[in-house]
Structure 1
Amino acid sequence: MNVIKFGGTSVANAQNISRCLDIIKEKKEKEPVIVVVSALGGVTDLLLSAAVSASQKNEDYKAVLQQVETRHIDTIKGLVPVTGQSSVLSHAKRELNRLETLLDGCYLLGELSERTKDLILSFGEVLSSYIISEVLKAQGEDAALADSRELIKTNSRFGKAVVNFEVTNTLIFNYFEADNHSINVMPGFIAQSADGYTTTLGRGGSDYTAAIVAAALEVPSLEIWTDVNGIYTANPKLVKQAEPIPYITFEEAMELSHFGAKVLYAPTIQPILNKDITLHIKNTFEPTAHGSTVSKVPEVKSSNPIRGISNVDDITLITLEGPGMVGVAGFSKRLFEVISKENINVIFITQASSEHSICLGILEAEAHKAKAAIDTEFNFEIQQQKIYPAIAEYGLSIIAVVGENMKNHQGLSGRMFSSLGRNNINIRAIAQGASERNISAVIDKKDAKKALNTLHETFFEEAVVQLNLFVMGVGNVGDRFISQIHNQSQFLRDNLHLNVRIAGLANSRQMFFDEEGIELENYKQQLSNGVATDAHSFISKIKALNLRNSIFVDNTASHDVAATYADFLRNSIAVVTCNKVAASGEYENYKLLKNLSRRYNAPFLFETNVGAGLPIIDTLKNLVASGDRVHKIQAVLSGSLNFIFNNFNESNAFADVVKQAMAEGYTEPDPKIDLSGIDVKRKLVILIRESGYDFEIDDIATVSFLSDACMATTNNDDFVQSLKDNAAHFNALYAKASAQGDRLKFVASFENGKANVGLQFIPQSHPFYNLEGKDNIVLFYTDRYKDQPLIIKGAGAGADVTASGIFADVIRIGNR
């Protein structure tokens, strides 16, 4: 005997049912088949909706009933030949008329008892099983319909009836012992009480029906056919990288199904566990796929101690606490008794070792009832202030990491909680049984998807870490950065095991998001179709997406954008920036960002603030971290100014060279920021602060080579014109340097707590003399580098090298 069950999606319509029929026919060639079926996909929800609406005197139930009728009539017409449709349609119509009468009664009475609800919900399975059995007969198969209500007997706990296995097993065994049909079709989900009323076995009860039949007949295996390839390592709708688990133990499957693995109804395992019946979960739409095999001892064991990660949403945490609980026996007993009396299922339990509090996780729909019952039960103790009124925390989820062999592996809980912590996922409560088969944590519901993906990455995708980037600014630097990400994506995946994707883009006008990653080949087109940019909305959207390993990348020079960094860091979103405003602004804000970065474990990286792609700040950090101390800094920190003074001579007018630097992207959008020395001051104060000194940018003295007239201009055209007007001044500077055999360099210096920036005449003997093009150079004099400084030199300006520096910071975060 072969017992197989088809879920609601498998029998959702005529096309899907045809797939099921092919599977049934193939199975019956080897041995007789008992087929347990669910209602047509979605019909149970429609029936419940109609019943509730009718009881609330809402006539919308009639439209829902019409929808139910149309679904079944269309299915019959799509499967039964025209010559045989009349009797099948007549029978179905009679059942639907009975259903209509029941709903009309609910409407007239304005009520819906649990007993009536069970009877109404039973029509889904009654109709689907009848239709499928008649289709098989019409196709010439030796098929019969067996009524589950005549075989499975329960108590009168309507909604989730308890099976009387002694009576049920005898009825099932005797029925099929006498039956000789090749195929028997049975409705799942429904049963009958001892006094003859229709009961239901709970949502997902069709699985349970199949397991009850399989256990009663002691068949070697049970097959459950659904719309996925078995039990997955996580919910594939939430975790795209989730994969089917080919072999799993009963205990692991039970834990996963208890914590939300929808493919398997938790009570299904109980009847077949003691009979050692192997359970196969298969995909109706991919019948050749292996699926999942559930057994006492898996045929193939996995080296990974974690088998899956699951979750239950819409949880409320009820906490009972108070000083009067400590050392007093009976509180737990009374608490669980009152919960039991209210027929409330407890999903999660934890108690502090101090006995000061007990936490229960229950479904949110039952929370108000639970709190009221608990407060009533402990009213005397509450009045005496021995305990406090029950506290209910809503909007939560339970995340569970499951594995049979977890107890033999150290450090799993540490990895679980550290990975959640790195992504700013706050844990409200923790539970771990002595069997160590399950570690559960209560978190905010809004964090559930991120938590699932984070844990799945930690335990199943260790080879690849996914980084989700949100990029502000797509000008010269931003465009190069996006291009580099696109060109190197495969290399990063293959060699560094990083999956870097951009989930959000914005410029000053528009912003665009794609949770699955923006197609970078045509990002400009997608961005042009985005919505208007708003800094608040940009941050809000990133928070709402709540993606793991999120990184905000700022490619702008905006003060307003820099002001948002703290908000990102507080939400454990890393910040990578070439924008110098934040790190060079007020020292208190700089320290705040540094502290937030440490507190929320969110990197704040700005390597490109000094030297573009040169590893200046990173090198400085390593010096300080290793115990070295910086005493003196000498540097040429402006690639744009170095480019300008290297190209300025008798043949090239100063104003023309500045225009060239602007055109090639070496200067800031406002070139006065470079030529006035403001940009160099920002870079120098960052180096001083990273060296460990409390320093403000206003503490740096500036020796300007620009006239007041140049600085008073308000736009770039006027500024360039003012440079032309002051050509004699610049020519005189060049002539003096040339006469002395020197070169003009804009130098930044720090020594003995004092700092200055300004144009200097550099002799041939100085390391700065031969600095060419747009190069930067930094000399660090430290305890370890006293006489001969540590020198870092290289290209310090340009969109490509700046973009590569930002890229390097992103990779640093991925390699943490």
Structure 2
Amino acid sequence: MKVLKFGGTSVANAQNIKLVLAIVSDKAREEKLIVVVSAFSKITDLLQLASQKAAAGDESFKDILAEIEKKHLDALKELIPVSEQSSLLSHIKRIVNHLETLLDGCYLLGELSSRTSDTILSFGELLSSYIIAEALKQNLKNSSYKDSRELIKTNNHFGKAIVNFDVSNELIVDFFASNENQVVVMPGFIAASLDGINTTLGRGGSDYTAAILAGALDASDLEIWTDVNGMFTANPKIVKQAQPIAYISYQEAMELSHFGAKVLYPPTIQPVLRKNIPILIKNTFEPAAEGTYISNQVFTQSNPVKGITHIDAITLITLEGSGMIGVSGSSKRLFEVLSNKNINVIFITQASSEHSICIGILNSDADVAEEAINKAFEVEILQNKIEPCIVEKNLCIIALVGENMKNHQGLSGRMFSTLGKNNVNIRAIAQGASERNISAVINERDVKKALNSLHENFFEENTKQLNLFVMGVGNVGEKFIEQIHQQKKFLKDNLKINLRVIALSNSRKMYFDEDGISLKDWQFALETGELADKEQFINNVKQLNLRNSIFVDITANESVSKTYEQFLKRNIAVVTCNKIACASEYDNYKKLKKLSQQFNAPFLFETNVGAGLPIIDTVKNLVASGDKVNKIQAVLSGSLNFIFNNFDENNTFHNVVKEAGVQGFTEPDPKIDLSGIDVARKILILIRESGYKMEIDEITNESFMPAECLDTTSNEAFFESLQTHAAHFETIYKEALSKESRLKYVAQFENGKANVGLRFIPKDHPFYNLEGKDNIVLFFTDRYVDQPLLIKGAGAGAAVTASGIFADVIRIGNI
């Protein structure tokens, strides 16, 4: 004999019930079956709500009752031929009328006892099982219905009754010994006390009903049919990459179900564990899927962790004080208090010092527990030997589960290291001697990040998912997204980096997609987004709280640069080509670097100097290896180099600057480049990265631009002023010709002083042949004395700047 249980979603409506009937009919050809069914999906919730409203004097319970009745009548009408509906509809009406009488009683009395609640909640399974049994008889004549209350007997602990197995097993065996039907349909969840009063086995108790029957009858196996392909490595609603578990032991399944694996009610395993009856979890909607096979066998595999799971809505209560040290019985008193209040302890940890003991309970029990504990230890609290208990609500327990974890070293360290890297604060830790479970208490807001981070580390072949929030999608931003789209598959296959763009924003619109924006049509998605709002953008990033989050700033906006601190403090990495933050006050620059270290959030800005050239990275490596930078000479503006390389007697200064803007070499406001402030910022950043303290106003800026040009307030006015002062620029050009030199805008640092300005470069200088938009940097250090370390290459342009930003993102992926 085989026992099949179908959950609420499997019997949610007539369409789903037809799938159930097909599965049952197919399996009934091979052997006898017991089919245990839950209430229709959401019906138990509606029954509970109706009873609560009735007891509260709210007449809207009648509307809920009407909805319940309609759902069942609609299902019956679709499943049963019209010619046979009359008597069945009358039976459903009688059941509903009985339910209405009970609800009216609650309404009139203004109360809802636990005993009445159990009776009301039982109607969900009574209705569903009756309809399904009658529908099954249409195709399988050798089938019948049996009320579980006649076979499963319990005590009078309403809400979660304790089964009397001696009596129940005898009744079950006697009934099925004389039953000749091929299939028997029974309601799950409900039972009755020895004196015939309705009881329930706890929410999710239909699984338990099936297990009780299987255990009593030594069934060949127990099949739990649900809406997922078995037990998963994590909750697939939270962890999209979660995978079904093919084989798992009873003990592992118990651990996972206890810690929130919703496909299996925790007590289910006990009745079949004693008899070594395997459990198979299957998907009603994909019956061909393999599912999860649960047995007493421990299956060896390379990964010792079988699953990662969690329990929400946890409160941590800590009792501490010197009066507990060396005093026997403190723990006993604490747990006795909780037991007397019928409060279940989910988590326990105590340090060897005995100074404190920490327990985890459900949020709903927190207030009662706090009051009871403080009262029980009232004398010690008044004597200052023990502190009033500390209560921390809205927490969550996460757990690694695996039978073979005890045979592998370093799993705890790996778990906590992964959480630490993602700035998930651990409030408490527990691990049993069996090492089958490692549990940690964290804040509820970090659950999604924690589960995804751990799953990525333990189950996804070391693939690291990076979640990008991109602000600024102009020329550089477009190239950046284009490069991600082009390289996405390569990165995943070769570097095990899974890049997802979660948000995009320009000055007008912003768009978020937690599952990742499709980069094929991102422009359309952005245009359909909401109005751009910097503060709301930041709040959205924080609320999503995704693992490996990276804020990518591709603007030149000062206000955006001031948001980095908020991101870094939330363990969100920052990648930026915006120079303003690193060239701001030295204290702010150092604070951002310190926050990066403190919150384990990378702060990378390679493109601040030299676009895609590895200039900043080189300086960091020099300093880290013990070298000292003594002097820097550089041409750091690709736009200015382009301008002066193309400015001659055939091309006016005005026209060349215009062309530099068209090609994307200058900032949106070209005065930033031509004033020298951009170069000053770049040399300042190199100076600071070299280990020196300097402010921007300490750099001498020898401007070659007329003041009237720099004082303009619009780009249009600026370009007009370039034409007005054309003779000024021609004079500079002619002077360079007369000296057989070329014009280069040079930045220099030496002996603690720095300057930027236009220089006449002779033919024998390394800068003379610098072409196009190239940058060049010479580092003179303790190791590079006579021949400086030279870095040269394209230092401007959307593509190379985007590639530098991309490289910083990949660096984070490789950390």
Name the counterpart of 1:59.
Answer: 59
Work out whether residues 25 and 140 of structure 2, in 8 Å CA contact, stay in contact via their aligned partners in 1. Answer: no
CA drift of 1:302 comes to 2.2
Task: Map 1:500-511 to 2 at 5 A.
Answer: 500-511=499-510
Query: Equivalent residue for 1:200?
Result: 200
Where 1:275 maps in the other structure, the secondary structure is coil
Indicate whether 1:399 and 2:406 are aligned. no
Aligned to 2:745: 746
Aligned to 1:767: 766
Q: Give CA-to-partner distance per residue, 1:404-428, whole Å, 9 cap, x none.
A: 1111111111111111111121111
Q: CA deviation at 1:451?
A: 1.1
- Confirm whether residue 379 of structure 1 aligns to residue 386 of structure 2: no
Distance in 1 between residues matched to 2:715 and 2:183, nearest whole Å: 86
SS at match of 1:271: helix
Counterpart position of 2:174:
174
Partner amino acid, structure 2, of 1:432: Q
Task: Determine the structure 2 residue equivalent to 1:123.
Answer: 123
TM alignment of 1:410-559, pairs within 5 A: 410-559=409-558
Deviates more, 1:517-526 or 1:447-456: 517-526
> Deviations for 1:710-762, whole angstroms, at most 9, x for unmatched residues?
22222222222222222222222221221221111111111111111111111
Residue 698 (structure 1) aligns with: 697
Q: CA offsets per residue over residues 299-357 of structure 1, 9 Å max, x none?
A: x5321111001111111112212221111111111111111111111111111222122
C-alpha separation between the residues in 1 aligned to 2:729 and 2:28? 97
Distance in 1, matches of 2:140 and 2:408, equals 56
Contact in 1 for aligned 2:395/2:442 (Cα 8 Å): yes
Worse-matched range after superposition: 388-397 or 683-692: 388-397
State the match for 1:267 in structure 2: 267
Q: Summarize deviations over 1:559-586 as a string: whole Å, max 9, x none.
A: 1000000000000000000000000110
Quote the Cα distance in structure 2 between the aligned partners of 1:712 and 1:543. Answer: 40
* Corresponding residue SS for 1:581: coil
Q: Do 2:300 and 2:404's aligned partners in 1 also have CA atoms closer than 8 Å? A: no
Give CA-to-partner distance per residue, 1:607-638, whole Å, 9 cap, x none: 00000000101111111111111111000000
Q: Quick one: distance in 1 between partners of 2:398 and 2:230?
A: 20
Amino acid at match of 2:420: G
Aligned partner letter, 2:338:
I
Question: 2:800 is matched by which residue type in structure 1?
Answer: V
Asked if 1:650 corresponds to 2:649, the answer is yes
Moved more, 563-572 or 474-483: 474-483
Question: Is the 1:247–1:301 Cα contact (8 Å) retained in structure 2?
Answer: no
- Contiguous gaps of at least 5 residues in structure 1: none
Q: CA deviation at 1:252?
A: 0.7
- 1:779 paired residue number: 778
Q: Deviations over 1:98-123 (max 9, x none)?
A: 11111110111111111111111111
- My pick for the range that moved more, 283-292 or 217-226, is 217-226
In structure 1, the residue matched to 2:98 is 98
SS in 2 for 1:129: helix
Contact 1:84 1:138 in 2 (8 A): no
The residue aligned with 1:632 is: 631
SS at structure 2 position matched to 1:773: coil
| Partner SS, residue 777 of structure 1 | strand
Displacement, 1:785?
A: 0.8
**Counterparts of 2:732 and 2:39 in 1: how far apart (Å)?**
90
Query: Structure 1 length as normaliser, TM-score?
Result: 0.99
2:208 equivalent to 1:222: no
What one-letter code is carried by the residue in structure 2 that aligns with 1:183? Answer: V
Instruction: Supply the AA of the counterpart residue of 1:523.
Output: W
Q: What is the match of residue 570 of structure 1? A: 569
Name the amino acid aligned to 1:348: F
2:726 partner amino acid: A
- For 2:444, the aligned partner's letter is K
Q: CA deviation at 1:140?
A: 4.1
Matching residue of 2:304: 305
2:216 is aligned with what amino acid?
A: A
Moved more, 473-482 or 702-711: 702-711
For the Cα contact (< 8 Å) 1:612–1:802, is it kept in 2? yes
What is aligned with 1:801?
800
Residue 332 of structure 2: aligned partner: 333
Distance 2:139 2:275 in 1: 35
Residue ranges of structure 2 left out of the alignment (5+ in a row): none
For the residue of structure 2 that corresponds to 1:701, the secondary structure is: strand
What does the per-residue CA deviation read over 1:132-167, in whole Å, with 9 as the maximum and x for residues that have no partner? 111222334211112211111111111011111111
- Deviation per residue, 1:763-801 (Å, 9 max, x gap): 111110000000000001111111111100000001111
Contact 2:733 2:743 in 1 (8 A): yes
Amino acid of the residue matched to residue 279 of structure 1? Answer: I
Matching of residues 204-353 of structure 1 within 5 Å? 204-298=204-298, 301-353=300-352
Q: Equivalent residues in 2 for 1:652-671 (5 A)?
A: 652-671=651-670
The Cα shift of 1:32 comes to 0.9
- Cα contact 1:34–1:184 (8 A) shared by 2: yes
Alignment match, 2:137: 137
**Distance in 1 of aligned mates of 2:350 and 2:472:** 50
Matches of 1:376 and 1:127 in 2, distance apart?
Answer: 46
Q: 1:358 aligns to what? A: 357
Q: Distance in 2 between matches of 1:375 and 1:115?
A: 31
Instruction: State the shift of 1:501 in Å.
Output: 1.2
C-alpha deviations, 1:220-258, integer Å up to 9, x for none?
Answer: 211111111000001111111111000001111100000
Counterparts of 1:666-745 in structure 2, within 5 Å, are 666-745=665-744
Deviation at 1:380, TM superposition (A): 2.0
Question: Structure 2: which amino acid aligns with 1:405?
Answer: N
Aligned CA distance change for structure 1 residues 260 and 140 (closer, same or farther; 3 Å): closer
TM-score for both structures, normalised by structure 2: 0.99
* Equivalent in the alignment of 1:7: 7
Of residues 716-725 and 20-29 in structure 1, the stretch that sits farther from structure 2 once superposed is 716-725
Contact 1:148–1:187 (CA under 8 A) maintained in structure 2: yes
Deviation at 1:2, TM superposition (A): 1.1
1:385 Cα shift? Answer: 2.0
SS of the equivalent of 1:584 reads coil
SS in 2 for 1:149: helix
Query: Which segment drifts farther, 769-778 or 164-173?
Result: 164-173
Letter in 2 for 1:107: Y
* Count of residue correspondences: 815
What is the DSSP-based 3-state SS (H/G/I as helix, E as strand, rest coil) of the residue aligned with 2:122? helix
> For 2:545 and 2:367, how far apart are their aligned partners in 1?
29
1:89 CA displacement: 1.2
Aligned residue for 1:575, secondary structure, equals strand
Q: d(CA) in 2 for partners of 1:89 and 1:128? A: 13
Alignment deviations for residues 67-126 of structure 1 (CA, whole Å, 9 cap, x no partner): 111111111111111111112111111111111111110111111111111111111111
Q: How does 1:567-606 map to 2 (within 5 A)?
A: 567-606=566-605
Cα distance in 2 for partners of 1:784, 1:410 equals 44
Which consecutive segments of 4 or more residues in structure 1 shift more than 3 A? none
Partner in structure 1 of residue 810 of structure 2 = 811
Match of 2:110 in 1: 110
Task: Give 2:41's aligned residue.
Answer: 41
Identity over aligned pairs, percent: 66
Please give the secondary structure, in 1, of the residue aligned with 2:301: coil
Secondary structure at the counterpart of residue 805 of structure 1 = helix
